[in-house]
Structures are given as structure tokens and as C-alpha cells.
A and B are shown apart, each in its own frame.
Chain A
Amino acid sequence: MAPMPSLCRACLTPFEGGARCPACRSPRIVVHPELFDLSIAHMDCDAFYASVEKRDDPSLRDKPVIVGGGMRGVVSTCCYIARIKGVRSAMPMFQALKLCPEAVVVKPRMQVYAEVSRAIRSMMEDLTPAIEPLSLDEAFLDLTGTARLHGAPPAVMLARLVRRMEDELGISGSVGLSHNKFLAKIASDLDKPRGFSVIGRAETAGFLAARPVRIIWGVGTATQAALERAGIRTIADLLRWDRADLVARFGQMGDRLWQLARGQDSRRVIRDEAPKSISKETTFDEDTTDPDLLDGHLWRLAEQVADRAKAKGFAGRTVTLKLKRADFTTVTRRHALHAPTQTADRIYREGRALFDASGERGPFRLIGVGIADLCAGANADREGDLLDPDAGKRAATERATDAIRARFGRDAIIKGRALR
């Protein structure tokens, strides 16, 4: 039998075959024929927010922890103990608490998570510059061609990365290693938590065939339903379709499905892809129809969007509005602007106009506002409006407000509107 490439995840010793590490006798090993040949990885932290909370408050260690906001909020993350009870991310909080009444609910501390995320990021930077973060707690890494530099194949470096995360940050992660992004992302999910999964070239087709189409990244409920109508449930079903037929039926998505079903994915790991939109939304504690309350939220959200746009140097040519009705159906509206904006005043006014024009009366459970079709912030708000001579004054006021806040803090000056 050919020697089987193996790696000990505890002491990082590469070896060939065996059920335990020959050096440290640990059973935490990865064995795969292509282990040292693959270089595209997806790293996903395990129950990230909850893990950070448990790390910072050891009394939570053995309790089910749910991170999420308010009575009406949703679960953003829950620890593995809570998951045993059936709690899942994005589940409404009341439902989660019904399943797991003993759970400790913690309000998210985004600043802390962002800090930990930055620390992880800097560890990744030691491995490769080709990092594509998907969120605070997951990222693609392309380690192609780094083996010589590091004196070790990608698999070893990745195992070292997660070990370092555990040692130095107290956060565990799962790694998926494969030959493209699509498969790496699937792999990282196979063996959570503290997983290390490999999908090699040779097994790709066999591995995918039996899986449901749902596994394909980007196939949500709607696409899944559309596929189901075409009699497509598994990837094997997809494989029976001609490329042209898929394109005819599903458009561009069809072409991607055809490729992905074959385990083909030529997308590259792109460092810090520029965002396509900036938006903020809020779920109310109670469904509301109160126009003043909605207006207050709209202003605060517009301000948050503007703050972020200004901080990141972006402006949007389109303003978007999102409303979720009490029955969970969603309404979205968008308006293309004559010229890009990044001011809270403009975003708020356009959002308000979209709201008024929507004809929706509520009750609503969520409101959100954002900007899309982004461009450089330097091009924003350069043109005045003849018919709205005060617009210039309001923009100047906003610039002055920003300057005061930059110096004396966020709450140094706020609009009365924000207090509603």
C-alpha cells in the first residue's frame, strides 16, 4: 500500500499512515492522500461570538450561551451546548428560549469580536497575503506556492494557525482544505467544531454527487425551490442536465450550477473585496406602526450608514429601504440618485421618501436603510440642488457635526430626531 500522508494536529508532525501520531501519540490526526498537495482553505471559527463570551467569562463555560439582542431579536450565535438543544443561528429569540430556557443570553459586543477578528487576521497574514474575509469569523486563504517560504506544506501551516488561535486567543476554528473555494467552504463545515477536513481532487465528483443542492453556496430557499420544480434535489440530479439547458432555465446561475456540480470553481481568493453596499437595520421589540418611532429609527440607521460610508471612504448612488412586515414578508425599495451621497441627511431623506412612497402602513417588525452602487467618497455630495437651497447648509452642518464628534466623542452632539 502506498504511504498515506498524515498530519498530527496536536504536535504538527507530518507522518505516513497510522491511527495515532507516532511522535505524541495523539489521535487528533488528519489523513488524506492529497493532504500536502492542496492549498485553498476556508477557516471558520467555531461559535465565534459565544466562544469569545465564554473565554471572557469562565462561569459561562459549561452553560448554554446565546448571543443575540433583545426580546424580539434573533440568535446571532449560540454555543455548541445550546445547539444540542436545537438552537440555531438566525432563529427568533423567543423560539430559542423555548427550546433552551436555561440558556444565558448575552448581548453582542461587536467591538470585542472585531478586535479578536483582527488578531486572527494578523495571524493569517503570517501565512499568506491572499486572504478573503467573509465576515468577522471566517475567511478564505490561498496558500498556493507558500510551501517553500514556510518550509512546510499548507496543511501544516493551517493546523498551526488554528492551534495558535486556541493557544493565544482561546478561540477554536475549523479548517476546510481543498482545491477551490467552493469545496473548501463545504469542507470546513464537515467536521465542526475544531475540525480539519480535506476534499481532494480525486474524490470531488464522488463526494458531491450524493449531496443535496442546498450545499452549494448561494443556493438559498428560493433557488432551492426553483431547482426542486425542475426535479433537481441532489447534485447528481444536476449532473444529468446539459449546460445549455441549465442556462436556459436558470440564467447565469445555471452556468454556475453546472460548474459547481462538477466541483469546478475558478473564482480566486480576492483580498478584501470592496463592499457592494452598506446598510443597517433594526428589529423592534414590538411590531410598530408608529410613524414617529419609525422615523427616529430611520434617522439613526441613516446616521450609522453614513458614519460607516465616511469611515470607509465610500458613497452610494442608490439608497435602499427594507421593511419587514409583522408576517415576516419583506418589502424592499430602492432609488437611484442623480449623484452619489454619503451624508446621513440625504440617506435619511431619500429613505423617508421611499417609505412614504411605499404605501406600507405596518405594523413592521424591522426597518433597514442602506446605500448601494458604491463609489469613492471623494465624489460624493458635490452638487447642490437649486430647488433645495438649504441642502448645502444641512450638508455643512453635518460636516461640522462630524468634526465635533471626531474631537469630543459620538454623543457630543446629536439631533433631536435621534431621540425619538
Chain B
Amino acid sequence: MKISIERATLLKAVAQAQSVVERRNTIPILSNVLIEAEGDRVSFRATDLDIEVVDRAPAMVERPGATTVSAVMLHEIVRKLPDGSLIHLTEDPASGRLTIAAGRSTFSLATLPKEDFPVMASSEYASNFSAPAPALRRLFDKAKFAISTEETRYYLNGVYLHVATGEDGPVLRAVATDGHRLARIDAALPEGAQSMPGVIVPRKTVGELRKLLDDDEAQIAVSVSETKIRFATPNITLTSKVIDGTFPDYSRVIPTGNTRRLEVDASEFAKAVDRVATVSSERSRAVKLSLDEDRLVLSVNSPDSGAAEEELAVAYGDERLEIGFNAKYLLEIASQVDRENAVFLFNSSGDPTLMREGNDTSAVYVVMPMRV
């Protein structure tokens, strides 16, 4: 194999590959990226056995071929080479090395045979559809903060992507929860997605996927089976196993009878929460919300360290209510609101509270209160 490729192109392709590679792993081949050159393109393939990413880039291929080298090392080298350089990758089968040359720099990396590289088995996809990148971006971005990290509830370690019935008919829905907060985000159902099986997309896949979704104009080809999900752009294909588990019935968790309505400027609210939470000494920083006629008092009382209080002008017309929350959760859900006021719907101080942006029900959040 012998190819020449522009540094920026190579860097982008290798960056995506190396981020999939698990930093600590005991199987050497899994640290490597599989480079395959043919025609006028070169592809870079990396896997952690759960996720596989293939990144294709244009290159001058002098001699086609394939080999594998350390993904992290290749990425580091390319990153450190000067911008604008033309990089030559040459495989020497005799020495088993890959030479990377650019300008006056030459590197020689150990390779492992391409036959040892585990290529993810292809699967039959039950559903194939195309979705605009911004819609997918919104689904995952707004849901991912609620993904659980608790390994005992492994089925919560991802975003549940499925078809559901929204207020105006069927929607593509993303749900994530860790038992303390929950995010339910809806998007218009893309054509061809009706028959999609519901799948739990793992946290790491959500992170990797994000890099495919930056382009506002891009259309993402999505393929879903019971066990795998694939996202593809013309240059990048990301295939991931999905979490083998049953996502809990979240619909019973979302309160429908909460009538006490608070409307507040989300960013003012978040800043105030952040300020009063400063004096809290515990790890779970509890903030108390005291609501009265158009008045919200946020307070923290921490016996060992001190107390704080801040008053906000809000729209609230129901009876007095005192309710406590983990400050971190309030900040996270408030930060999801970017266009209108945040609307909170409470029931009692012990019941889950619902939050949404204005009257938009396409993104709702549920948060569990804390005893204060």
C-alpha cells in the first residue's frame, strides 16, 4: 500500500476512528485502525467490538493495499504535523512497518496483519430511513444528560429511540432516564421509519454519533435492526450494537395531572439556582423552592456551612408550595431551554415535577424532588 493524502483530510478521518478505540484494552488489534486503499479513496476503520466506525477520504492511491496501525499514535502524529502538508503512507511488507512521511519528518509504525482485524458482521436491517442531521442532533443532545451511569441498571445506559404516538400523531422519540430525571424528546417521524424497532442506543454511541451531525444540511441514513443501529453520511458509517435489554415503561413516570404552573425565565432561574447552591456542602446539593403568588424564593440551608436565599419574580398563581430539588438536576434541565420561558408543572412536594419549554410538548423533562 502506498498513498498520499492531504493532512486535514487525514486528520479528520483518523480523529473519528481513534475516538472509538478503547484506551485501555488488552487485545492489541483493537488499538489499531484498519487502513484500506483502493481506487481514489482510502478508508479508516476502527472498532471496540460494540461500535464500528468507517471513515472514507479521497486520496492518491499509488499502490492499493491494506494494513493496521495504532490508531492513537497515527492520530497524534498527524495532529502534530504542520497544517497543509501532504502525507505519504507507505507500507513495507518486508519489515512489517508503515512509513509516514511529510516534509522532513518520517515515522515508521509497527503494523498488525489486516486479517486479524475484527470486522463487524453485517446484519439485516428491519428499517431504513433518512433523517435530517439537525433533527437527530436535537433528539440526542436534549436527552443525553439524563442517561444513567449505573451499571446495575444497564438498560438505562443509553437513549431509547423508538416510534411513539405524540399529540399530533406518530413521532420519532428519544427517552433517557437515570431514575432521578427523565428526558422525552420528539421529532417528526421520517418517512420509512414507521416499522423501526425500538432500540437503546448506548451512551458511547451517542457521543460518537454527535460528530456526524454537525452539518445542518446533511441527511443521515439510519438503519435499525433489533440488535444494531447504523448511521451513515456519504463519508462516515457508524454501526453500533444496541443495549440488549428492555427499556422501562416510561409513560407511567410522566405526570399528567400536575396543575400548579410556574413560568420563569430559564437563564435567570439557572443563575439563581447556581448562586444559592454555592453554600451547600453536601454532594447532593439540595435547593428549596418556595412558591407563592408570583414569587419564587430559592434557598439553601446547610447547617455546617451556611445559608443562602434569592427571590425571583415569576408567574405563579396556585397555592403556596415548598419543594426541594438537587441543584444539579435543576441546572441541567434549565439549560435545555433556549427559546422561551421554562414552564414547571408541580403536584405535591413528594411527586415528580414536569418541565417544558413554553407550551412545547415535543421536549418534556421530569425530575424527582428531594426531601428538604
Contact = CB atoms under 8 A, between A and B. Distances in A.
Contacts, number: 51
Interface string A335-355: 100110000000000000100
Interface in B16-62: none
A384 interface: yes
Nearest to B255: A386
Contact of B253 (A339, A357, A387): A387
B146 to A, nearest CB: 10
A148 interface: no
A392 interface: yes
B179 A382 contact: no
Nearest to B324: A382
A386 B371 contact: no
Given A384-B350, A385-B368, A386-B181, 4 more contacts: A383-B370, A384-B352, A387-B248, A388-B179
Contacts of B303: 378
Nearest to B350: A392
B369 interface: yes
B368 A339 contact: no
Nearest to A387: B179
A259 interface: no
B150 A338 contact: yes
A386 B284 contact: no
B368 A383 contact: yes
A338 B152 CA distance: 12
A379 interface: yes
Nearest to A383: B370
Contacts of B271: none
User: 7 tightest A-B contacts by CB?
Assistant: A382-B371, A382-B370, A385-B179, A386-B253, A384-B368, A387-B179, A383-B370
Interface string A383-404: 1111111001000000000000
Contacts of A381: 371
A383 B253 contact: no
B370 A338 contact: no
Which of A338, A384, A386 gathers most chain B CB within 10 Å? A386
Nearest to A339: B284
B368 A382 contact: no
Instruction: Name which of B150, B177, B282 has the most chain A CB atoms within 10 A of its CB.
Output: B282
Nearest to A391: B179
A386 B368 contact: yes
B182 interface: yes
A379 B368 contact: no
B255 to A, nearest CB: 10
21 contacts: A375-B283, A379-B284, A381-B371, A382-B284, A382-B324, A382-B371, A382-B372, A383-B326, A383-B370, A384-B352, A384-B368, A385-B180, A385-B368, A386-B177, A386-B179, A386-B180, A386-B352, A386-B368, A387-B177, A387-B248, A392-B350
Contacts of B370: 382-383
A338 B180 contact: yes
Given A379-B282, A386-B177, A387-B253, A357 B372 contact: no
A105 to B, nearest CB: 42
Nearest to A380: B371
Contacts of B327: none
Contacts of A335: 152
Interface of A: 335, 338-339, 353, 357, 375, 378-379, 381-389, 392
Contacts of B180: 338, 383, 385-386
A383 B180 CA distance: 8
A379 to B, nearest CB: 5
B286 interface: yes
A166 B369 CA distance: 57
Interface string B280-320: 00111010000000000000000100000000000000000
B366 interface: yes
Nearest to A379: B282
Contacts of A353: 152
Contacts of A392: 350
Nearest to A386: B253
A384 B182 contact: no
B182 A386 contact: yes
Which of B178, B180, B253, B372 has the most CB atoms of chain A within a 10 A radius of its CB?
A: B180
B152 A357 contact: yes
Contacts of B252: 389
A357 B151 CA distance: 11
A384 B369 contact: yes
Interface string B333-372: 0000000000000000010100000000000001011111
A335 B252 CA distance: 28
A353 B286 CA distance: 28
A33 B148 CA distance: 66
A82 to B, nearest CB: 46
Contacts of A338: 150, 178-180
A378 B304 CA distance: 12
Contacts of B350: 384, 392
A374 to B, nearest CB: 13
Contacts of B248: 387
Contact of A386 (B282, B286, B324, B366): B366
A397 to B, nearest CB: 14
Contacts of B366: 386
B371 to A, nearest CB: 4
Interface in B143-191: 150, 152, 177-182
A385 B180 CA distance: 6
A383 B253 CA distance: 15
Contacts of B324: 382
Contacts of B286: 382
Contacts of A339: 284
A350 B20 CA distance: 33
Contacts of B181: 386
Nearest to B326: A383
Nearest to A378: B303
Contacts of A383: 180, 284, 326, 368-371
Nearest to B252: A389
A353 B151 CA distance: 12
A385 B286 CA distance: 16
A89 to B, nearest CB: 38
A348 to B, nearest CB: 15
Contacts of A389: 252-253
A388 B248 CA distance: 10
Nearest to B177: A386
A379 B303 CA distance: 11
